Amino acid sequence: MQIRQLSLFLENKPGQLRIPAKVLGDAGIDILTMSLADTHQFGILRLVVKDTDRARAVLEDAGVVVNVTDVLAVDVPDRPGGLASVLEAFENAGLGIEYMYPFATRERGRYATLLFRLEDPAKAASLLQQHGVRLVSPAELFARAG
Partner 1 sequence: MNTQRSDAGVAFHPASAPDFLPRRELAKLQLERLQKVVRRAYEKVPLFRQRMEARGLRPDAVKGLPDLARLPFTVKADLRDTYPFGLFASSMDEVVRLHASSGTTGKPIVVAYTAADLQVWTSVMVRALAAAGLGKGDVLQNAYGYGLFTGGLGAHYGGEALGATVIPISGGNTERQLMVLQDFGVTAICCTPSYMIHLIERARDAKIGFGKLRVGVFGAEPWSDGMREYIQAEAGIRAHDIYGLSEIIGPGVGVECVHRDGLHVFEDHFYPEIVDPETGEVLPDGVEGELVLTTLSKEAMPMIRYRTRDITALQAEPCPCGRTLRRIRRIGRRSDDMFIIRGVNVFPSQVETALLQVEGTLPHYQIVLTREKGLDEMEVQVEVTAGFFSDEIRGLQALQHELETAVDHVIGLRVKVTLVAPKTLARSEGKAKRVVDQRNI
The residue ranges that bind partner 1 (CB under 8 A) are 7, 9-11, 16, 37-39, 41-42, 44, 46, 60-61, 63-67, 69, 98-99, 117
- End-to-end CA distance of the chain: give it in Å, rounded: 19
Q: Which is closer to partner 1, CB of 101 or CB of 112?
A: 101
List beta partners, residue 134.
Answer: 75
CB of 78 to partner 1, least distance (A): 28
Q: Which is closer to partner 1, CB of 59 or CB of 112?
A: 59
Q: Which is closer to partner 1, CB of 56 or CB of 127?
A: 56
CB of 119 to partner 1, least distance (A): 11
Q: Which is closer to partner 1, CB of 67 or CB of 85?
A: 67
Question: Are 117 and 71 in contact, with CB atoms under 8 Å apart?
Answer: yes
Q: Which is closer to partner 1, CB of 71 or CB of 127?
A: 71
Give the DSSP letter of residue 81: T
DSSP H helices, 12-120, are 18-26, 52-61, 82-92
CB of 121 to partner 1, least distance (A): 12
CB of 88 to partner 1, least distance (A): 24
Q: How many CB atoms lie within 10 A of CB 53?
A: 9
User: Taking CA 107 as the corner, what is the angle to CA 109 and CA 22, rounded to the nearest 5 degrees?
Assistant: 125
CB of 16 to partner 1, least distance (A): 7
Rounded CA-CA distance 106/122 in Å is 23
